[in-house]
Amino acid sequence: MRFPSIETAVREARVTLVRFPLSIFSGLTGMVVLIGMTGSHNQPWQPRLLATAVLGLALFTASVTTVERRGGATGARWLVDGAILLGLALVYRASNGWTDQTAFLRFAQLQLIAHLLVAVGPYSIGRGEVDRRLEGFWQFNRFLFLRYLVAAFYAALLWIRLSTALGAPDKLFGMKVPAETYFKLWAIMALGFHPWFFLAGVPRNYAALDTLDDYPVGLKVFTQFVLMPLVAVYLVILTAYLGKIVITRTWPGGWIGYLVSSVSTVGVLALLLVHPIRERADSRWVNWYGRWWFVAILPSLAMLLMAIGKRLEQYGVTEPRYFLLVLALWMLGLSLYYGITASRNIKLIPMSLAAVAVLASAGPWGAYAISRRSQVARLDRILQANHMGRAGDAGRAPVAGAVSFEDRRELSALLRYLSNTRGGRGVTAVLGLPADTVTAWEHDSTQGTGASPGDRIAALAMRHLGLSYVNRWEPGAREQTFWANLAQPRALDVSGFQLARVFTYPGPAGWIGTESDSLQLVPEDSSGALVVKHGGGALLKLDLRGVARAALPLDSLGATGYNQLKRSIVVDGSAEGFRVRVVFESIRGMVRPNGLELQGGTGFVLAAGLRTSGTAMSPPP
């Protein structure tokens, strides 16, 4: 066995760079951005630039292989690359105006399109009998798939070994290696080494691929004896579940979409992997699978469409539901086509999926436009039903208590959806407010805040409508939990007091005092008060619940899970020359129909008026 020399490796790397210059440049750009994200001060543009670079890596690869196989001129290739570069710049610029959720969905959609172009680009236009036989198409994608796995294995192995080498000085010589160094090394392997190594193995002799008749034994064993039986078992389970639905007359659960989608994806993958051996004498049942799998999946697809239809009727269209519906309809179309025609043109599968993904990405028929129209229409119906105007010109509720909990929950969810997908301007637009209203809201210290930007803006919008916000985790119409604390605790003012100690409510009975005099603090669960005793008798009662209720209006607690206190909650009391102050820096409780129930809190308790012959702060013996 002969191993390549360093000179050979360098030469191959140089050849790959000349063949795929913009692809490697995209990978290195993503690597630099990812390394820059290891610090604690990440910028919003960094993940978007990273996603754009990874997108460019796939698109420029598709451009090179397509032009190579089609025999295009060098000038034409650079013209196409220039158009791709301009498109990437426009995508990156537009992405800075997307919310995080929308950016994730859009880039995932674009990545799917780009990687499908890598698979079908060189074979997208037929060249007579050679393309109709599909050997070259299958072999090309087989080499891409295996090369990707080999590159991933080498990159992971290199990272592990180099990380071990970096850790050795720490163990042997006490030389501390920052944790960020390992992440930077992973970025180099993932976006520097891996793409370069992968691209070095991309086939370039397309004529040889068109006549290659080679099928790996390991792939055959895995597909025939692992993947295909697994698909068959799940199809039986799904068909049995459909029978249960028909007998019991119940709608399928929402989780069925994930199961059917997974089975469909694995089933199509198995079909693609076994395509070259469908005609072999020792693989007749593989041919039977390829012929009847699309027919067998039809009942499961019908069940999936039923479940999607029910969710759309209840909650309208959102981007994930839109994509699931499109995927189900695409699979239904493929199943009917292959089931009726018995076609073996596997190239149609990735090509049609790429076309569907492109159509669903933009335009009035796209996922984002249809989802927004559907959700705004739902919001409009709720506003009209509660006499609060219409979408685009919404007003406050005439009587806050007249809006049901279900409608408040729906309004909260709709506003949260708009905030997560369109940002604050999407919320202000649907309410008919100026675009800078959200900024004014967030500078108003009297407004409630939420746990996330989507929750916070939705809570502010609900307050503008005169309603309390309903969080997605809220258990029901009659109660909701809350938690609030100071974002940045301040120094405690102890002027006028003798002693201070940490305080936890309710906790067991506590004491605060000196060696010769002490006060006992006893929580009263029934009223949410704190009874202060001296000498065994009740001295005064601090109304903790009442003060907390006044400091936290119920409609500011709509963003359950987390709220920010603008200032400490202070409860004062005095009697017979004694003064006691409780300072809450965090509280938790339950909002019930009859008011606020204080369930716990932490802070400090201060006392004055005690005899001070000593300084011990433990309770008296």
Instruction: Tell me: pLDDT of 362 over 60.
Output: yes
Q: Is the pLDDT of residue 448 over 70?
A: no
What is the pLDDT confidence band of residue 562, given thresholds at 50, 70 and 90? low
Task: Give the whole-angstrom CA distance, residue 509 versus residue 512.
Answer: 11
Q: Which pLDDT score, from 0 to 100, does residue 593 have?
A: 59
User: If pLDDT is split at 50, 70 and 90, which confidence band does 247 have?
Assistant: confident
How far apart, in whole angstroms, are the C-alpha atoms of residue 419 and residue 455? 8
Listed in order, strand segments (DSSP E) in 112-269 are none
Separation between Cα atoms, residue 552 and residue 559, nearest integer Å: 12
d(CA 324, CA 371): 13
pLDDT at 108: 94
> Across all residues in the chain, what is the average pLDDT?
83
What tens digit of pLDDT does each residue of 496-541 get?
898 898 888 887 768 888 878 888 888 876 667 888 888 888 888 8
Residue 558 has what pLDDT?
Answer: 47
Mean pLDDT computed over 576-592 = 85
For 172-259, list the strands marked E by DSSP.
Answer: none
**Class of residue 82 by CB neighbours under 10 A (exposed 0-12, middle 13-18, buried 19+):** exposed
pLDDT at 65: 92
What is the arithmetic mean of pLDDT over 277-282? 68
| pTM reported for the whole predicted model | 0.74
Lowest-pLDDT range of 273-282, 310-319, 320-329: 273-282
Per-residue pLDDT band for 151 (boundaries 50, 70, 90) equals very high
Nearest CA to 489 out of 602, 399, 334, 580 is that of: 602
Cα distances from 572 to residues 356, 508, 530, 544, 589, in angstroms, run 66, 21, 11, 9, 21
- Label residue 619 by pLDDT band (50, 70, 90): very low
Cα–Cα distance measured from residue 69 to residue 364, given in angstroms and rounded to the nearest whole number: 36
Instruction: Calculate the alpha carbon distances from 417 to 102, 243, 353, 426 in Å.
Output: 11, 36, 27, 10
> Contact at 8 Å (CB) between 223 and 277?
no
Residue 306 in tokens: 């039923």
Phi, psi of 206, deg, nearest 5: -70, -30
Q: Is 410 left (phi over 0), alpha (psi -120 to 50) or beta?
A: alpha
Q: Quick one: residue 614, left, alpha or beta (phi over 0 = left, psi -120 to 50 = alpha)?
A: beta
| 18 pLDDT higher than 60 | yes
Note the pLDDT tens digit of each residue in 107-149: 999 999 999 999 998 887 655 544 445 778 888 999 999 999 9
Q: How far apart are the first and last CA of the chain?
A: 86
